[in-house]
Amino acid sequence: MSDKKIMAGSAQADKKYRITIAERGPYLVFGRPPLAQQFIMSNDRGASWYFQEGRHFSTESEPTALCRCGASHRKPYCDGTHASVVWDSELRAPMSPLLEAAEVTRGPAVSMTDNERYCTFARFCDADGSAWELVARSDNPRDRKLAVREASMCPGSRLMAWDSETGKPFEPDYAPELSLIEDIAMNSSGGLWVRGGIRIERADGMPYEIRNRVVMCRCGHSENKPYCDGTHAAVKWRDEIDGVPEGETLPEEVY
C-alpha cells in the first residue's frame, strides 16, 4: 500500500506525525500531537451528543509509548507490562480501504456509508432518531442536518455522510490530535481517538489508510486491532485514569 492511499474526505497530516504499532508492544507516537481525555456527553434524553475535554497528557517524549494491551499500571503510557501478561496483540484489521467494504444507504439529500467493522459503540448514530432513518428523510432540512451530524460524530468513521447530489463527503475539519475516550454512560473507557490524518503504520513500516478520524484499541480485547470494535463497553474496561469533563467541547453543531 502506498503512502498516497488516503480516504475520501481526509488529508494526510504533516509527516512528522505518525503512530508506529510495536510488535506485541505499545503505540509509538511521533510528532508530539496533543493528547487529552474526551468524555462522551449525553443530551437531556440520555443519548450521546458531544465530546467534552478532560485531563491533558504530555507527548514530549519522542516517541511517546502509549499502552495498547490494557494492562499498564501507568496508563495512558506503556510500562512494559505487555511483556509479562497474556493478551492478543494480533493485527486483524484489513489493510484495504474502509469504504471498500462499506454498505451505502441512499437518501434524497444525504447518503451514508456504513462499515460495521469499525463500530466503537459510541452511539452518536441514535442521538435524535436513527441515522439511517434520518438519511431516508433527508429532504427535510432538520433531518438532513441531523443525519450529517450523527454520521460525522462517529469517532471511528464507521459512518460517513455524503452529499447525494455532488457525491462529496461531509467531514469535520480536525487538526492532528489524540484523545482517550471515556464513556460515562457505559461506565467504561474507550479507545485512542486519532484525528486529522495522522499516519498509522505497522512495525514493518506498512501504512494503513490515512483517515480523518479513527479509534484504536486501548483495552487489548478488540478483534479488529489496531482499531477499536467496541468490546471495551461489553467487558466494562476501565483505564482508571483520573479526570473530569471540564474543558472545551467538540462541536455540538458539526454542520
Render pLDDT for 118-175 as a digit per residue (tens, 0 to 9): 999 999 999 999 999 999 999 999 999 999 999 999 999 999 999 999 999 999 999 9
Specify the pLDDT at position 251: 74
Position 2 in a domain:
no
- Partners of residue 180 on adjacent β-strands: 37, 192
Residue 210 has pLDDT above 90, yes or no: yes
Same domain, yes or no, for 183 and 233?
A: yes
Position 252 in a domain:
no
Tell me the percentage of the chain whose pLDDT exceeds 70.
97
74 pLDDT tier (thresholds 50, 70, 90): very high
178 pLDDT tier (thresholds 50, 70, 90): very high
Residue 255 has pLDDT above 60, yes or no: no
2 pLDDT tier (thresholds 50, 70, 90): very low
Same domain, yes or no, for 102 and 161?
A: yes
Mean pLDDT of 50-63: 97
Burial (0-12, 13-18, 19+ Cβ within 10 Å), 41: middle
Calculate the alpha carbon distances from 30 to 34, 159, 191 in Å.
Answer: 11, 28, 18
Domain count, the chain: 2
Same domain, yes or no, for 212 and 192?
A: yes
CB 186 within 8 A of CB 54: no
Calculate the alpha carbon distances from 160 to 172, 211, 243 in Å.
Answer: 10, 12, 30
Same domain, yes or no, for 198 and 87?
A: yes
Render pLDDT for 81-124 as a digit per residue (tens, 0 to 9): 999 999 999 999 999 999 999 999 999 999 999 999 999 999 99
Same domain, yes or no, for 211 and 119?
A: no
Same domain, yes or no, for 88 and 178?
A: yes
Position 224 in a domain:
yes
- Tell me, yes or no, if the pTM score tops 0.85: yes
Rounded CA separation 98/119 (Å): 12
Specify the pLDDT at position 4: 59
Q: How many CB atoms lie within 10 A of CB 34?
A: 15
> What's the whole-number average pLDDT of the chain?
96
Mean pLDDT of 225-252: 94
Specify the pLDDT at position 126: 95
Tell me the percentage of the chain whose pLDDT exceeds 90.
96
Looking at 170, 199, 229, which one is the last position of a domain?
170
Q: Which domain holds residue 115?
A: 98-170
